[in-house]
Amino acid sequence: MPKGIYKRKPHSKETKQKIKLARLKRKEKLGYINSPETREKISNNLKQLYKEGNLILPTMLGKHHSNKTKRKMKDIRQGKSYEEIFGVEKGKRLKERFTNEKNPAWKGDKAKKFSYHAWLSRHKLKSDVCEFCGKTKDNFGHIKLVLANINNHQYTRNPKHYKWGHYSCHINYDNLNRKREQR
C-alpha cells in the first residue's frame, strides 16, 4: 500500500478486525466474497484501464529495487519529460494524467502542510544562505536550511510565501510575529 496522505482517517484495529470477520462470514455463507458478476465487472474495468494505458501492472508488488537500480532509474529519468522516457503516445497520456491537478495524489486546497512543503521544497530555488539572517551558519553553528512559511501559516503554493532558513531563525521569526500580533 502506498504511504501518503489519505482523505479519510485510517481504520482502527477494531474496525479492520470487524471488516475481516464480516468478509469471512460472507465467504462461509456464500462461498465467495465478490459475486461472479462483481468479479466480472472488476476484471472488465481492469482490462479497460490496461487497454487505455492507465494501469501499471504490479510487477514490483512486494519487491524492492536495489539502490543501484534506483540510482540508474533516476539517472535515466532525471530532467526528462514523460515523452522522452515513455515515447510520444504513452508519454502524452501519462503527462495528462499526472500533471498537477490531475495527479491522484493532489488534494487541491485541502492539501496539508506536509504536501505543500514537499512541493515547495522541490520547486523553490534553494538558497545558499539563510534568508532570515543572511548567514551560512546560525548562532549555534548549524548550516542546514529548512523551508519556512512566512505567510502567517497560511499554506499556499506560492514560493514567495516561503523562505529557506535555519531552524532557529525560523523559530525566532515565528516568535517575533506572535508578539507583534499580541500587541
Q: In this complex, which beta carbon is closest to Zn ion, that of residue 24 or of residue 143?
A: 143
Binding marks (x or -) toward Zn ion, 108..137, rule CB under 5 A?
Answer: ----------------------x-xx----
Closest distance of CB 87 from Zn ion, Å: 46
Q: State residue 87 phi and psi, 5-degree precision.
A: 90, 160
169 binds Zn ion (CB under 5 A): yes
**Contact call for residue 166 and Zn ion (CB under 5 A):** yes
Which of the 8 DSSP states describes residue 164? E
The SS3 assignment for 12 reads coil
Interface pattern 60-99 for Zn ion (x via CB under 5 A): ----------------------------------------
How many binding residues for Zn ion (CB under 5 A)?
6
* Percentages (nearest 5) of helix, strand, coil residues in the chain: 55, 5, 40
94: phi > 0 → left, psi -120 to 50 → alpha, else beta; which? alpha
Stretch that binds Zn ion, among 3-11, 76-84, 99-107, 160-168 (CB under 5 A): 160-168
Q: How far is the CB of 177 from Zn ion (least distance, A)?
A: 16
- The residue within the footprint of Zn ion, chosen from 138, 155, 162, 173 (CB under 5 A), is 138
Q: Are strands 162-166 and 145-149 parallel, antiparallel or unpaired?
A: antiparallel
Give the Cα separation of 92 and 84 in Å (integer): 10
Return the SS3 of 119.
helix
The residue range among 56-64, 70-78, 98-106, 164-172 that interacts with Zn ion, by the rule CB under 5 A, is 164-172
Q: Return d(Cα 113, Cα 153) in angstroms, integer.
A: 9
Q: Which residues bind Zn ion (CB under 5 A)?
A: 130, 132-133, 138, 166, 169
